[in-house]
């Protein structure tokens, strides 16, 4: 199955290109992706422990193993990149522009919740596969990192397909309702992420505005007041507390 980037990601291609073109930022993103994949792998291993369904247990274990392998692939590539680069410099991260597989969403794993989990995993894997398809396109100049995304993408497509098939088996007629529910949950989390990113940008802007626009007039007034003081003027001293002069 060929996975294509979403329409939105295709429209934002220049932005993705800009995010990934800095090799330091690229390495840090790969390290963050490695953490996300490893977290996902642990959550899915937990789901394998809890499910009463033997087929799902086997599939979850394979899935968890894949995610841990992805974590290794991302981490190894990030280390290789970092070792080949000069000292790191500070750069704009823009994590909210290029999230990893599940972004900030955590998989919720509970006993008897295979339907909801499969719906959530299906949507997450689909989003990840489309995002990774975009990343591999904008990384055309870095063949080695691109090869890592190629490798991971194959597994994500498999995860996307098996979760959809198993959802149809486990939840039968309720599979559409589960998907709708999971989609709403993801939308709410996306809204929270966007709101947090906007609040952070606005907070930084307001602080800069205070520093560069509001503070300078006060500093100027204070300097003028100091220049206007007559020569030999000694500012009043605070009274000495009784008894301390002896």
* Residues at the contact surface with Fe ion, assessed by CB under 5 A: 37, 67, 70, 125, 156, 159
Nearer to Fe ion, 27 or 148 (CB): 148
Nearer to Fe ion, 75 or 174 (CB): 75
Question: Least distance to Fe ion from the beta carbon of 154, Å?
Answer: 10
- Contact (CB, 8 A) for 15 and 137: no
Cβ partners under 8 Å of residue 15, min gap 6: 97
Question: Least distance to Fe ion from the beta carbon of 143, Å?
Answer: 21
Nearer to Fe ion, 70 or 178 (CB): 70
What is the C-alpha to C-alpha distance for residues 216 and 132, in angstroms, rounded to an integer? 47
Nearer to Fe ion, 18 or 146 (CB): 146
In degrees to the nearest 10, what's the CA dihedral of 57, 63, 66, 70? -140
Question: Least distance to Fe ion from the beta carbon of 8, Å?
Answer: 21
Question: Least distance to Fe ion from the beta carbon of 88, Å?
Answer: 26
- 109-144 as b/e, with b when 16 or more CB fall inside 10 Å? beeebbbbbbbbbbbbbbbbbbbbbbbbbbbeebee
- In the three-class reduction of DSSP (H, G, I as helix; E, B as strand; rest coil), residue 112 is classed as coil
């Amino acid at each position: 199955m060929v996975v294509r980037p979403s329409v939105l990601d295709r429209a934002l291609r220049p932005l993705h290109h800009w995010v990934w073109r800095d090799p330091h930022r690229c390495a840090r993103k790969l390290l963050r992706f490695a953490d996300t994949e490893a977290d996902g792998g642990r959550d899915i291993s937990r789901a394998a422990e809890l499910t009463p369904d033997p087929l799902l247990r086997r599939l979850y274990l394979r899935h968890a193993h894949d995610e841990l392998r992805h974590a290794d692939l991302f981490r190894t590539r990030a280390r290789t990149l970092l070792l080949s680069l000069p000292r790191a410099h500070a750069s704009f991260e823009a994590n909210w522009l290029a999230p990893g597989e599940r972004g900030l969403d955590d998989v919720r794993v509970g006993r008897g919740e295979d339907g909801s989990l499969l719906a959530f995993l299906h949507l997450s894997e689909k989003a990840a596969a489309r995002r990774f398809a975009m990343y591999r396109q904008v990384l055309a100049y870095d063949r080695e990192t691109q090869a890592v995304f190629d490798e991971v993408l194959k597994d994500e497509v498999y995860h996307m397909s098996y979760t959809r098939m198993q959802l149809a088996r486990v939840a039968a007629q309720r599979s559409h309702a589960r998907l709708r529910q999971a989609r709403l949950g993801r939308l709410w989390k996306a809204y929270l992420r966007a709101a947090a990113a906007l609040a952070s940008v606005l907070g930084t802007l307001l602080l800069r505005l205070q520093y560069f626009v509001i503070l300078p007039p006060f500093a100027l007034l204070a300097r003028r007041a100091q220049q206007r003081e007559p020569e030999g003027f000694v500012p009043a001293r605070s009274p000495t507390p009784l008894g301390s002069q002896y």
